[in-house]
């Protein structure tokens, strides 16, 4: 299979999809990006990496960070975490407050903001410094020691993240937040503000397609990674998870920076990036590219 040729074709064909949707502007800083950029990278389990477009340009990983914090918490905590967060699709926007009250402070899943705040809280309890732990992990797994937080985006989220603050205090009122809210929010905003390229992301996510095997030994057991992929498939793209399963057919995690990480178990990990988002908060060009790639390679899990 000529994977490089497929990626080059997808980049060439992707101009129309790149104009669909709008760049996220609720976090000031994200909207300053050049929205006409598009990148794709495929990291094969056999070791080769294929790239096309703006695959080495850094962007804000935002909610894609939630896959990595969940992986770290699962590795350290086993099943304990699931007493504080469910693993069902939410059917509501990623930052909704309503469901959290109806369900007595137990977030629907670890990828909506409330669930991710619980995971970050747990990681803060389990590690001396969750942010350091995440950054070290990403640098190791991608072999890029330069990965770091975009301080401008982190500050911007801190200044405007009132909804996340509301969710965190709400969780505290249900005794589902252990650490002080400002500490959890700071760690959460900084994890979302990490900047990475498609190349970095596809490489760092390799353990997800290799049965839990990282660059340097096991990150998760095969059982754990199978489950993490299941949560990505059902909850990783929020209210569009059904459409993603239909069009792409892979476990995916999106972020409002326009990135999507996708896993082809046993074969490769894919990262795409296009800043304009659909109404559900997922990259429009990203989903179009992934749908084409899985259609042409047969990589859907279905
Ligand atoms: O908390 C927020 O709203 C952002 N830092 C992350 C949201 C996000 O990326 C949702 N993903 N599609």
Closest CA to 72 of 187, 155, 169, 151: 187
pLDDT band at 157 (very low <50, low <70, confident <90, very high): very high
Question: Which pLDDT score, from 0 to 100, does residue 142 have?
Answer: 98
Q: Nearest-CA neighbor of 220 among 108, 81, 94, 72?
A: 72
* Domains parsed from the chain with CATH numbers: 3-296 (3.40.710.10)
Counting atoms of ligand 1 from 1, which one is nearest the CA of 116? 1
Q: What is the mean pLDDT of residues 137-144?
A: 98
Q: What pLDDT is recorded for position 215?
A: 95
Angle at 164 between CA 162 and CA 167, to 5 degrees: 110
Do residues 261 and 216 lie in contact, with contact meaning Cβ atoms separated by under 8 Å? no
State which of 28, 90, 107, 113 you would mutate to test the pocket of ligand 1, scoring each by most atoms of that ligand within 8 A of its C-beta: 113
Does the CB atom of residue 255 touch ligand 1 within 6 A?
A: yes
Confidence of residue 90 (pLDDT cuts 50, 70, 90): very high
How far apart CA 204 and CA 251 sit, in angstroms, is 15
Q: Is 114 in the pocket of ligand 1 (CB under 6 A)?
A: no
Expressed in angstroms and rounded, the spacing between residue 62 Cα and the centre of ligand 1 is 5
- Taking only the tens place, the pLDDT of each residue in 181-209 is 999 999 999 999 999 999 999 999 999 99
Taking the CA of residue 95 as reference, the ligand 1 atom at the shortest distance is 3
256 Cβ inside 6 Å of ligand 1: yes
Q: Which of 33, 55, 65, 66 is catalytic?
A: 66
CB atoms within 10 A of CB 44: 16
Residue 29: CB within 6 Å of ligand 1? no
What's the 164 CA to ligand 1 centre distance in angstroms? Answer: 10
Active site residue 60: no
Per-residue pLDDT, averaged over 62-82, amounts to 94
Residue whose entry in the numeric block shows the structure tokens 């190791």: 140
Mutual angle of helices 130-142 and 65-77, in 10-degree steps: 110
Which residues have CB under 8 Å from 154's CB, separation 6+? Answer: 189, 190, 192, 193
Q: What is the mean pLDDT of the chain?
A: 96
> Does ligand 1 come within 6 angstroms of the Cβ of 281?
yes
What was the pLDDT predicted at 80?
Answer: 86
- Give the burial class of 102: count Cβ atoms within 10 A of its Cβ; 0-12 exposed, 13-18 middle, 19 or more buried: exposed
pTM over 0.85: yes
- Please indicate whether residue 66 is annotated as part of the active site: yes
The answer to whether the CB of 280 is under 6 A from ligand 1 is: no
Q: What is the pLDDT of residue 15?
A: 79
Residue 94 CA, closest ligand 1 atom number:
10
Burial letters for 129-168: b for 16+ Cβ neighbours within 10 Å, e otherwise? ebbebbbebbbbbbebeebbbbeebbbbbbeebeebbebb
Is the Cβ–Cβ distance between 195 and 58 less than 8 Å?
A: yes
Distance CA 60, CA 195 (A): 5
pLDDT at 139 over 90: yes
Q: Which of 55, 63, 130, 283 is catalytic?
A: 63
Q: Which of 119, 142, 188, 263 is catalytic?
A: 188
pLDDT at residue 244 greater than cutoff 90: yes
- CB of 192 within 6 A of ligand 1: the answer is yes
Mean pLDDT of 253-277: 98
For the chain, count helices (H), then strands (E).
14, 12
Query: Has 23 been annotated as catalytic?
Result: no
By percentage, how much of the chain surpasses pLDDT 70?
100
Among the listed residues 11, 33, 256, 272, the single catalytic one is: 256
Whether 254 is in the pocket of ligand 1, judged by its Cβ within 6 Å, is yes
């Amino acid at each position: 299979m000529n994977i490089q040729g497929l990626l080059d074709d997808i980049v060439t064909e992707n101009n129309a999809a790149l104009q669909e949707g709008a760049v996220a502007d609720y976090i000031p800083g994200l909207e300053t990006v050049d929205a006409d950029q598009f990148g794709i990278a495929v990291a094969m389990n056999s070791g080769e990496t294929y790239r096309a477009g703006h695959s080495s340009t850094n962007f804000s990983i935002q909610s894609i960070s939630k896959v990595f914090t969940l992986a770290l918490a699962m590795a350290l905590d086993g099943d304990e975490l699931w007493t504080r967060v469910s693993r069902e699709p939410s059917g509501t926007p990623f930052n909704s407050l309503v469901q959290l009250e109806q369900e007595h402070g137990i977030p629907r899943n670890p990828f909506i903001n409330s669930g991710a705040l619980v995971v970050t809280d747990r990681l803060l309890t389990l590690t001396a410094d969750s942010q350091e732990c995440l950054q070290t992990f990403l640098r190791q797994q991608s072999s890029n020691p330069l990965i770091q937080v975009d301080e401008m985006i982190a500050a911007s989220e801190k200044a405007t993240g009132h909804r996340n603050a509301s969710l965190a205090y709400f969780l505290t009122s249900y005794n589902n937040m252990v650490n002080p809210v400002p500490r959890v929010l700071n760690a959460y905003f900084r994890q979302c503000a990490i900047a990475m390229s498609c190349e970095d992301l596809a490489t760092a996510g390799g353990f997800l397609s290799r049965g839990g095997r990282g660059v340097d030994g096991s990150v998760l057991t095969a059982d754990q990674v199978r489950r993490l992929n299941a949560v990505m498939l059902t909850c990783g793209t929020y209210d569009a998870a059904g459409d993603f399963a239909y069009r792409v057919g892979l476990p995916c995690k999106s972020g409002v920076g326009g990135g999507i990480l996708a896993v082809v178990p046993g074969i490769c990990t894919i990262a795409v990036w296009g800043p304009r988002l659909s109404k559900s908060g997922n990259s429009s060009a990203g989903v179009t590219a992934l749908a084409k790639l899985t259609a042409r390679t047969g990589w859907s899990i279905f």
